[in-house]
Amino acid sequence: MSMRNPSIDREGGEWRTVLVYGLGASGRAASRLLLGLGAEVVGVDARPAASLELGELAGAEGFRLLAGGEPAEAPAGIEAVVVSPGVPLERPLLADARRRGLPVLAEVELAFPFLDGPVVAVTGSNGKSTTTALAGAMLREAGFDVAVCGNFGPPLSAQVEPGASDRPAAGSGERSSRVFVVELSSFQLAAIRSFRPRAAALLNVAADHLDRHGGLEAYTAAKRRIFENQTADDVAVLNADDPGSRETEVTARRRLFSRLAPVDDGCFLDGRRVVERDRGGEPVELFRTVDSPLPGAHNLSNAMAAALLARALGASPDACRAALDGFQGLAHRMERVIESGGVVWYDDSKGTNPAAVLGCLEGFPDDSVHLILGGRNKGADFAVLEPAVRAKAVHVYLIGEAAGELEDALGGSAPVARAGTLDRAVAEAALRARPGESVLLSPACASFDQFRDFNQRGDEFQRLVHAIVGGGPGGQEARV
């Protein structure tokens, strides 16, 4: 069996056997795509076979499983490796593959040549999922058939339809009513080769995943790869208010968004209006701040970025406004859980780095927040939180592995309780919070010390809040 993949260096070459490293959702989708295209697949995962959710891959013709360990070398006969986002590129097997000259590709890179429409791509340290969902909603309002996928939603490989190998690649310039709006992590971008979005955004760059990338410079470089294959016919959306984004060099048309100052090409805040300027022309209203339903200045920036991405594919301002009007926000991203006794509770479990916490705190009045922090540190410097905590926090509740680091970094900027666990933090905050104040879970940390992921942490927070302060799901004060 063989497959033809236009993304490999050997143009017109064929892969007969491909190794897929990591069998989570993206690895399984990549395996199904490869099998459908005629390749044999060797699936590798460190977890035992019994703990894997292989579905139809189990027993599939052409699929061979190596589970319960990670070989140091690629098996004989492997011609390429597709790597899942959760697998560090420094693993011995991947190093061996690169020494042997084998292509090592991200799952999104594998899928890209077989897509039947243009790609809109979003990355950044914070706000990726919200911006991706908003851009998708705006393009739907504009009449496009939209698939929202990638790091947020189903894997990109799952969007490839049968017979895709006979169609032109997504970057071919052919017009299509189908658009793929893809959220991309630094892990995915580190292993692209020819992936070329028609429009791409780098929302911001803040210290995150430094434990994986080894430093801010490497992390930033991975994020910026989103633009590396674009041409002058494409659009690069950059945040004029964020140095890591603003200072990125691009070949594509450079469009900026800013809450702080006018820009010559892009959109900016003008009083209560967001206006768009096209290459130095007269500003035209894009939407009003009241059209954005999400709290926080950072979410206004996300809406501006999404609008520029949608405009790059021809969406009208009316479509952007209509999408904003109907947008409900995403779970665990500054999600308002309940108001009880004059205290508002917010779930921002997705706030897994200090920059995300700072963005949330910016929208609260001074001396009004009961802040729950903690979890597993990803190499971040928590000291950057100290000024905002001093200004905004009434009390801080620390949980998880990083509690000690956080307490040292905050340096007495607010009263601190070493709650240890989320249930104790919620209980203590419920006792201390007064009418007019808010309780905010925005941990600045990963969840993996106590929870499966940020979703489970957020779900448990909401369950505890409803159980402790009343108004359970479906009741009078259920989440909004």
The catalytic residue among 151, 204, 229, 353 is: 151
Q: Are strands 199-202 and 178-183 parallel, antiparallel or unpaired?
A: unpaired
Task: Identify the DSSP state of 169.
Answer: P
CA distance 301 to 388: 20
CA distance 287 to 299: 14
Task: Annotate 183-200 with b (16+ C-beta within 10 A) or e (fewer).
Answer: bbbbbbbbbbbbbbbbbb
Q: Which helix (H) or strand (E) holds 311?
A: helix 297-312
Let me know if 163 is exposed, middle or buried by CB neighbors in 10 A (0-12, 13-18, 19+): exposed
Question: Would you give the end-to-end CA distance of the chain in angstroms?
Answer: 52
Asked about 392 being catalytic, the answer comes back as no
Provide CB contacts within 8 A for 420, sequence distance 6+. Answer: 398, 399, 400, 403
For residues 310 and 74, what is the distance between their CA atoms, to the nearest angstrom? Answer: 42
25 vs 478: CA distance, rounded Å: 32
Cα 308 from Cα 200, distance rounded (Å): 10
Q: Calculate the CA dihedral of residues 296, 298, 301, 306 and round it to 10 degrees.
A: -90
Among 128, 223, 378, 395, the active-site one is 128
Among residues 5, 126, 204, 209, the one annotated as catalytic is: 209
Cα–Cα nearest to 462, from 320, 346, 322: 346
* 3-state secondary structure (DSSP) of residue 82: strand
- Active-site residue list: 128, 151, 209
